[in-house]
Structure 1
Amino acid sequence: MINGEKNIENPIRWGMVGGGRGSQIGYIHRSSALRDHNFELVAGAFDIDPERGKDFGVNLHVDPERCYADYKTMFEAEAKREDGIQAVSIATPNGTHYEITKAALIAGLHVVCEKPLCFTTTEAIELEELAYAKNLVVGISYGYSGHQMIEQARKMIENGDLGDIRIVKMQFAHGFHSTAVEKNNASTKWRVDPKVAGPSYVLGDLGTHPLYLSEVMLPNLKIKKLMCSRQSFVKSRSPLEDNAFTIMEYENGAMGTVWSSCVNAGSMHGQTIRIIGSKASIEWWDEHPNQLRYEVQGKPAMILDRGMDYLYSEALIDDRIGGGHPEGLFEAWSNLYSRFAKAMNAKDRGETLEDVWYPGIQAGVEGVRWVENCVRSADNGAVWVEYQ
């Protein structure tokens, strides 16, 4: 159980790019990173408007001299300090992720980046190779994977409780953008602009979340080929999609589906993942993240609850309070930031980190690769394509 005691000797000196005043994602990065005393926020380039960013940083108790106008100035100035930043989180629009991540790695900084890591697989592999060459951590903020019941699902599958895996059914389908809300909402407007958002909207913004959950639960399941159909029901969003269906065939013969949508009218989040085996099935729903549904053929369905002794021990490690008390997204993100800190500390000490998974650079590469393959299939008439 996590109780806030240090798990690395000294907090990692940490900065942020983006995530300024009014940024929902910026707040969750800060709350999660700072919760377990693994990181110390000492610098930031929080806003495209330097004065607004400085005012915000001061209100976060950051030294005004370390509230910078842009990320390039911050990386250069911090590199000259004995107490300069060791890591940076990037919470900016998609189109900036590649250049900022690359600059951070060149500057010798560990990175936590919002997804997508970049727009093309070629760019993603370049960042992967740079991270390995520099011996640096790149974490990707797939925050839902920090929920403890994801680890329970992972162990159940690993230990054969479900039998042979046959079907993986995934979706992230909310309804909040079922009309053209971007006309009056700046935070949505850039998401439907290809120059800023990249080659997709909901495939990259939503679909990659349950896809990564499947990678955590089923690390050995590899995609062989896929077929994707995408639509722009709100026509002004074209060529970017607001709805997509993807069918995948895995190398072992199993099948998978992903429904990615922001026009599922009436749905809050609609993110679920169901793993179907030859003996049993499990299902997790992010609106009820403390439970995992477990269905054994021929027996009554069971609801497994977070924090209970009947779970695998690995699923109890990240508990922050006893069973029965609800934990949520902030706790899940905190669990990931705790893992990021351990990985960064191990890299800096030249140690090998064993038995700790986290959404790292390979997760970033695979997310970009999947979107690229989906777009290639959809734009060629929703045809089957070999996974490249």
Structure 2
Amino acid sequence: MITSSPLRNGTIPWAMVGGGQGSQIGYIHRSAALRDGNFQLVAGAFDIDAERGRTFGQSLGLQAERCYDNYQALFNAESQRADGIRAVSIATPNGTHFAICKAAIEAGIHVVCEKPLCFTTAEAEELLALSKQHQRVVGVTYGYAGHQLIEQAREMIARGDLGDIRIVQMQFAHGFHNEAVELANPATRWRVDPKFAGPSYVLGDVGTHPLYLSEVMLPELKIQRLMCSRQSFVKSRAPLEDNAFTIMEYEGGAIGYVWSCAVNAGSMHGQKIRVIGSKASLEWWDERPNQMSYEIQGQPLQVLERGMGYLHPAALHDDRIGGGHPEGLFEAWSNLYYRFALAMEATDAGDATALAMLRYPDIHAGIEGVRWVENCVRSADAGATWVDYV
């Protein structure tokens, strides 16, 4: 169980770029990072409007001189301070991620970044090379990957409880953008503008989330080829899609399916993953995160509950409040930030053994998300044809 044990080398001084006043995701980052006391927010460049960002930072208790006009000033000044930041979280529009990540790594700062890391695999590979050169951690916030039942599913699949894996069915299909809400909502507007969002909307914004869950549960599955069809049901969003279907063939014969959607009218969140084997199936839904369905052919449905002693030790390690109490998004995000902190500490200490024992959505996960979106867009734009996964 996670009990907020302090890091061996003390709290990590931490900053944010973006995530300012009115940012829901900024609040989630801060809540998760600060929960266990492993990070201390000491600086930030919170807003494209420098004065508004400075006011917001001071409302969080930061010193005025450590509320910076932009990320360049933040990294330059903090890298020269004896008590400067060691890590930064990036919660800005997609089109800025690559430049900010690159600048942070080059300044010797660990990074936690919203997805996507960037727009192209070439840019992602450049960030990987820089992270290795400067020995910096890059984490990606696939938030629900920190939920303990994802660990339970991974262990059950690995020990063969499901048999041979045949089908992986994934979706993230909500309904909150079933109309052109971006006309009145600036927080949504940039997500459907290629200049800021990149080559896709829902493929990168929601589809990569269940895709990463599948990578955690099924690390041996490798995509061989895929076919993607995407649509802009709200026509003003074209060429970006608000709905997409992706079929994948894996090496070894299994198949996968991802439904990425923002126009599933009536759906609250709709992120689910179902793994079907030759003997049994598992299903997890983030709106009911404390239960996972386990269905063995010919037997009654079983519901596995979070926090119970019959779960695998790897799942119980991520437990925070014991069985029976509900956990969800904030606990999952806090677990990720806990792992990010341990990875940063191990990296700074040169402890390769400790680092190798940690699993978290790292830069390789970020690269794979970018690669998947690129291949989906390539397939869709070629008329929903099969393309080799490159």
TM-score bin (small chain):
over 0.9
Q: Give the drift of 1:147.
A: 0.7
Find the residue that maps to 2:249 and give its secondary structure.
strand
- The Cα shift of 1:3 comes to 1.7
Q: Secondary structure at the match of 2:88?
A: strand
Separation in 1, partners of 2:113, 2:103: 13
Number of the residue aligned with 2:381:
379
Contact 1:172-1:210 within 8 A present in 2 as well: yes
User: How far off is 1:93 after superposition?
Assistant: 0.2
Question: Which digits, 9 at most, give the CA deviation of each residue in 1:158-200, with x for residues without a partner?
Answer: 1111111110000000001001101001011000000000000
Query: Would you say 1:362 and 2:343 are equivalent positions?
Result: no
SS at match of 1:376: helix
Q: Deviations over 1:85-115 (max 9, x none)?
A: 0010000000000000000011011000000
Letter in 2 for 1:381: G
- Equivalent-residue separation in structure 1 for 2:170 and 2:57 (angstroms): 39
Structure 1 stretches of at least 4 aligned residues deviating more than 6 Å after TM superposition: none
2-structure distance, mates of 1:9, 1:109: 16
**Secondary structure in 2 aligned to 1:182?**
helix
Question: Deviation digits for residues 252-304 of structure 1, max 9, x if unmatched?
Answer: 11000000000001100111000001110000000001111000011001000
* SS in structure 1 of the partner of residue 367 of structure 2: helix
Q: Which runs of 5+ in 2 are unaligned?
A: none
Amino acid at match of 1:376: R
1:3-14 superposed matches below 5 A: 3-14=3-14
Q: Per-residue deviation at 1:63?
A: 1.0
Letter matched to residue 366 of structure 2? G
Contact 2:7 2:345 in 1 (8 A): no
Contact 1:224–1:250 (CA under 8 A) maintained in structure 2: yes
CA displacement 1:206-225 (0-9 Å, x = unmatched): 00000000000011110000
Report the CA distance between 1:42 and its aligned residue: 0.6
Q: How many residues align?
A: 388
Helix, strand or coil: the match of 2:247? strand
State the SS of the aligned residue for 2:317.
Answer: coil
User: 2:137 aligned with 1:132, yes or no?
Assistant: no
User: Where do 5+ consecutive residues of structure 1 fail to align?
Assistant: none
Distance of 2:290 and 2:146 partners within structure 1: 11
1:1-388, aligned counterparts within 5 Å? Answer: 1-352=1-352, 353-388=355-390
For residue 132 of structure 1, report the CA deviation from its aligned partner.
Answer: 1.0
User: For residues 28 and 269 of structure 2, what CA distance do their matches in structure 1 show?
Assistant: 18
Q: What one-letter code is carried by the residue in structure 1 that aligns with 2:218?
A: L
Secondary structure at the counterpart of residue 188 of structure 2:
helix
Q: What amino acid sits opposite 2:129 in the alignment?
A: E
- Give 1:382's aligned amino acid: A
Per-residue CA deviations over 1:227-260 (Å, capped at 9, x if unaligned) read 0000000000000000000000001110000000
Separation in 1, partners of 2:8, 2:141 = 21
SS in 1 for 2:356: coil
Alignment partners' CA distance in 2, 1:340 and 1:180: 36
Identity of aligned residues (%): 71
Matches of 2:132 and 2:255, distance apart in 1: 32
Q: Distance in 1 between matches of 2:79 and 2:270?
A: 44
One-letter amino acid of the counterpart of residue 246, structure 2: T
